[in-house]
């Protein structure tokens, strides 16, 4: 199934790190975006962030040449997603919050609209009862930064209609992404592997076995990890990481997913990683 990029109308709910990443990716590939969040101050900051990310993407040459950028519309009214062909939920990894957003969005959009959750760990089948038409729901796990990392994890729920899956993969192709489709499982592939690794790396620092730099350098130099687990945690956001670990721990009972005290303390202290200016590393003041 092939669709021209102009026929896609994307709505993104949640103007945080991933919401702005996904919006920048879509806009840079000519797809119009309606971005929804709870207040105008958040949306003003998000608009400036998206402009910065688009400039970064252009400088790196990761956007298609000669394609006019899509238009960005911001709103605090979820009713404004009604005309979208695809809605992406990109709110925090807290089931109650996702349930409210997905349930409301599914009641607003027309039948046949693709509903995507950018969930990190919550099972698509767990989310299915939250929406009016479970066959229209699937997961797409964009990596950060979404405009640079071309591969995406696409999660097919037990109820996902093959036509809806095909439409989502087609949109991702328009956005220049390579889709790997997997079956549903709490945490999926990436985060069932990655999140316990980051948690264990933090435990090693907590226990005084090694510094954050030494842990990361060993993973990079010996195992080829591109950034090291703790730098990756700072990029994800340590608050988001803890939320995801809690989901995994509750679902699977695996102690490697039980957030260690060092992670919890950093979140309590507001040291969430790059977005706050400090996590396992110091990034200076946040603009």
Q: What pLDDT is recorded for position 226? A: 87
Tokens of 111: 């039948």
Tokens of 252: 């699977």
Whole-Å CA distances, 188 to 74, 94, 130, 215, 282: 31, 17, 19, 25, 31
pLDDT digits (tens, 9 = 90+) for 230-276: 999 999 999 999 999 999 999 999 999 999 999 999 999 999 999 99
Give the CATH class of 192-275. mainly alpha
pLDDT digits (tens, 9 = 90+) for 25-40: 999 999 999 999 999 9
Question: What residue ranges do the domains of the chain occupy?
Answer: 5-183, 192-275
**Mean pLDDT, residues 65-89:** 96
Does the pTM exceed 0.85?
yes
Q: What pLDDT is recorded for position 144? A: 87
The CATH architecture of the domain made up of 5-183 is: 3-Layer(aba) Sandwich (3.40)
pLDDT digits (tens, 9 = 90+) for 174-195: 999 999 999 999 999 999 999 9
Q: What pLDDT is recorded for position 2? A: 37
Residues marked active site are found at: 141
| CB atoms inside a 10 Å sphere around CB 221 | 10
Rounded Cα gap, residues 267 and 253, in angstroms: 22
Angle between helices 212-223 and 229-236 (to 10 degrees): 110
pLDDT at 287 over 70: no
Cross-strand bridge partners of residue 10: 33, 86
pLDDT digits (tens, 9 = 90+) for 131-171: 999 999 999 999 989 999 999 999 999 999 999 999 999 99
């Amino acid at each position: 199934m092939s669709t021209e990029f102009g026929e896609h109308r994307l709505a993104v709910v949640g103007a945080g790190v991933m919401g702005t990443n996904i919006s920048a990716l879509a806009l840079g590939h000519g797809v119009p975006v309606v971005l929804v969040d709870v207040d105008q101050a958040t949306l003003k900051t998000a608009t400036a962030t998206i402009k910065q990310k688009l400039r970064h993407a252009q400088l790196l040459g990761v956007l298609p040449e000669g394609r006019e950028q899509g238009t960005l519309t911001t709103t605090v009214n979820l009713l404004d997603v009604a005309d979208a062909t695809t809605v992406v939920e990109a709110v925090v990894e807290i089931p109650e919050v996702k349930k409210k957003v997905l349930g409301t969005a599914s009641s607003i959009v027309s039948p046949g609209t693709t509903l995507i959750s950018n969930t990190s760990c919550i099972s698509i089948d767990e989310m299915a009862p939250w929406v009016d038409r479970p066959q229209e729901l699937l997961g797409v796990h964009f990596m950060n930064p979404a405009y640079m990392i071309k591969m995406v994890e696409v999660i097919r729920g037990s109820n996902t209609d093959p036509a809806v899956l095909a439409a989502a993969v087609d949109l991702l192709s328009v956005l220049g992404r390579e889709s790997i489709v997997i079956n549903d499982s709490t945490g999926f592939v990436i985060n069932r592997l990655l999140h316990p690794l980051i948690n264990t790396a933090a435990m090693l620092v907590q226990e005084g076995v090694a510094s954050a730099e030494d842990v990361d350098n060993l993973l990079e130099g010996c195992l080829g990890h591109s950034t090291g687990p703790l730098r990756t945690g700072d990029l994800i956001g340590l608050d988001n990481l803890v939320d995801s670990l809690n989901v995994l721990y509750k679902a699977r009972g695996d102690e490697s997913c039980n957030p260690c005290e060092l992670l919890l303390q950093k979140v309590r202290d507001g040291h969430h990683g790059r977005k706050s200016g400090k996590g396992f590393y110091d990034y200076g003041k946040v603009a």
